[in-house]
Structure formats: structure tokens, C-alpha cells
Amino acid sequence: MLAELYGKPGYLIRRCQQIAVALFLEACAPFDLTPMQYALLKAAEAEPGLDQITLAGLVALDRSNAARLCAGLEARGLLQRAADPLDRRARRISLSPAGAALLRQAEPAVAAVQQALLAPLAEAERAPFVEALAAIAAAHNGASRAPLRAVEAQGRG
């Protein structure tokens, strides 16, 4: 029976992800911005000068997709990539002024998407729901093909 499928957490998480992406793409169409582009821009804003591989880890994105996305964002003038003076193969990523401006313009649309996603829940259910999602993601991080590697940037100083 399909009811059995529709009640499975994995299926529901995948459906919610599809819906989240659809809402994001609709809201951010005026900015020509995808969820992963937004994540990379936010990470570059938060951690300027990181190498591209570490930046990819901060948003749980595999290296090849990160390289392709960073190249596209650089071509649009939203990111700046420079060779690392200590490792010419590595690329240091910084948010450009145009990238910072785009983030400022897109932020209300991104916030509206987050609100829309949680709108079916009562106000008191929202924070616990997000905390539960974070707990699931953290507990199974290592099972991902592109695990979140937030610790790498925290050790910088």
C-alpha cells in the first residue's frame, strides 16, 4: 500500500526537500539563485579566504559540484577565487561586493521561504522540529556522500 510508503520518514524527508527546493527556486528566481549557490555565498561571507574544498565541506557539498558552482558564481562576479600562495592547486574564495549585495537583496526572500516551510506547524512546534531535523542530520552525517565538515573552519584562527 502507498500509505505505508507515505508514512516512512525517509520518504517524507525527501518530499520536504523537494518542496523546500521548489519554494526556494520560486522565491529566489529574481536573483537567479539556487539553494546551493546561496549556501556557498553564505559560507564565503562567514569564512572569507577559505580554500574551496573546506568551503564545500562547510555546506556539505562534494568537491566537483563545489568547483563547478564556485566557477559559475565567479563568472557572475559574485565570488572571487585566487590561487593559494602556499598551494597553487588550491583556490581561496572570497565574497565579492556584488555577492554581498545579492545576499542582502535575497535575504528577505530566503527568510520568507523558511517561514513558509514551517507555516503548517504551530509556533510552538517549529523550533523543536528544526532541532529534531538537526539531530537527525548530525547523527547520520558520516553516511552522507558529502558530509558536513563544519569543524574544519572552527579551528582556524
9-27 and 97-118 helices, crossing angle to 10°: 130
What pLDDT band is residue 90 in, cutting at 50, 70 and 90?
A: confident
Helix axes 35-46, 63-75, angle to 10 degrees: 80
H or E segment at 18?
helix 9-27
- Tell me yes or no: is domain 2-154 CATH 1.10.10.10: yes
What would the pLDDT profile of 41-73 be if each residue is shown by its tens digit? 999 999 999 988 899 999 999 989 999 999 999
Q: Name the pTM for this structure.
A: 0.90
Any idea what DSSP says for residue 29?
G
What residue type is assigned to position 95 of the chain? L
Any idea which of 15-29, 83-97, 106-120 has the lowest mean pLDDT? 83-97
Residues 82-95: what's their mean pLDDT?
Answer: 86
* Residue 24 CB-density burial (10 A; 0-12 exposed, 13-18 middle, 19+ buried): buried
Domain ranges of the chain: 2-154
CB 54 within 8 A of CB 148: no
